[in-house]
Amino acid sequence: MHYENTLAFARQLDEQDPLKDFRSRFLVPKYNGREAIYLCGNSLGLQPVTARENVNEILSNWQELAIEGFFIGDNPWLGLHKRLTDTLSAIVGAKSEEVTIMNSLTVNLHLLMVSFYKPAGKRFKILVEGGAFPSDQYAVASQVRFHGYDPNEAVLEIFPREGEFTLRTEDILRKINDHADELALVLFGGINYYTGQLFDMKAITDATHAAGAIAGLDLAHAAGNVILKLHDWDVDFATWCSYKYMNSGPGGISGIFVHEKHFNSPELNRFEGWWGFRQDRRFLMPPVFEPENGAAAWQLSTSPIMLLALHKASLDIFKDAGGLDTLRAKSVLLTGYLEFLINGINQEFGDDLFTIITPKNAAERGCQLSIVCKQNGKAMFNILTNQGVIGDWREPNVIRLSPVPLYNSFGQVFEVGRILTVAAAEN
């Protein structure tokens, strides 16, 4: 698209936007009496309007039905997580039975590594992206220690080339191939939280399987953001949170994917709990575990109904929006427009005032742009904040801005460009 740095152009794009009415389905925080420009969906998505209604319905049923709320009423609690998996599985590109909703992300990562990190002989190493989110680093290190290995030997990291900010796919694939006989697991994020780089998950998965290892994904920044095809890509397992691009509340419930090829594997270990027991016999209370079909067998405890109610509020919006194809198309345009405006500021004030470290190729990024500020970065970030733009600051000099297609507009992106232009002039 040929972008223009005018408010009229931004308004024209907003008028043509098939998702323009979805902003009204979210509650936007105020700043100095006006709606903020919220570009922090990469950390916490906005609250759906129906979230409070959904929780209040649960509270009313709890009040009026007590324990019977699990079994009767318009939305019995017992099967609530199952009623959400059709929409969720479409978001992550899976079969419904390959997905379930439970716990939080790092808890699920540990549970999945119990099943899929199976070190044996010389094949005991885990390959991860250098600079992965710290929680992933802690989880991986503790898992290898649990199996008796030294993380300094068992955890392999791959970093960008000197002078570069992001990883090259060919370097990732070469690293996998170079350690093919040592790898038990390759665990990557779908999108790197710091740079916003979207990895080629299919290529990584294919190379991992060719090396004889298991392929796992942390999709915290990818689920609800970019198009995923976990089943078709033959990914072994994945997990994600729901509070970023899936707008399901702070600390919102997580989800997992397990490829159907693993459902009946006799070699697979799994921690077991009552909620993973087959539902049709669960209340018979037999002493020996009989797994529910599919990913649901990984569940342990009774579903947190309040969190599911919040998750439902957002998943209903995704369903009504027509799926990830429509969202992704707008996302590419929104993020491209923000990039265009930032590049224009560089042309006016100096080519390296702002350096976008997120890949230029739209196929290699989601909503997020990570922007290195050459000078006075924190001051520029504060100017954005003082003008009602809510973004994210990362030390030492990075501003992360994420225009989300469900609730951000081209007019808002234009306003951010205007504010950054003023900030550049003042700094």
Q: Are residues 217 and 124 in the same domain?
A: yes
Record the pTM: 0.96
Phi then psi for residue 253, to 5 deg, are -65, 150
Give the pLDDT score at 211: 98
Alpha-carbon span 320 to 91, nearest angstrom: 12
Q: In total, how many domains does the chain have?
A: 2
User: Residue 126: is its pLDDT beyond 80?
Assistant: yes
Alpha-carbon span 167 to 129, nearest angstrom: 9
Give the end of a domain, one of 288, 304, 320. Answer: 320
pLDDT in tens, 205-260: 999 999 999 999 999 999 999 999 999 999 999 999 999 999 999 999 999 999 99
Please check whether residue 49 lies inside any domain of the structure: no
- 294: alpha, beta or left, given left = phi > 0 and alpha = psi -120 to 50? left
User: Residue 161: is its pLDDT beyond 90?
Assistant: yes
pLDDT in tens, 68-84: 999 998 889 998 998 99
Structure-block tokens of residue 167? 């990883």
Q: How confident is the model at residue 267 (pLDDT cuts 50, 70, 90)?
A: confident
User: Residue 14: is its pLDDT beyond 80?
Assistant: yes
- Determine the structural domain holding residue 371 and report its residue range: 7-35+323-426
Q: Are residues 139 and 223 in the same domain?
A: yes
Q: Are residues 202 and 348 in the same domain?
A: no
Alpha-carbon span 157 to 154, nearest angstrom: 10
* 8-state DSSP, 163: T
Alpha-carbon span 347 to 352, nearest angstrom: 9
Q: Are residues 267 and 360 in the same domain?
A: no
Q: Are residues 338 and 420 in the same domain?
A: yes
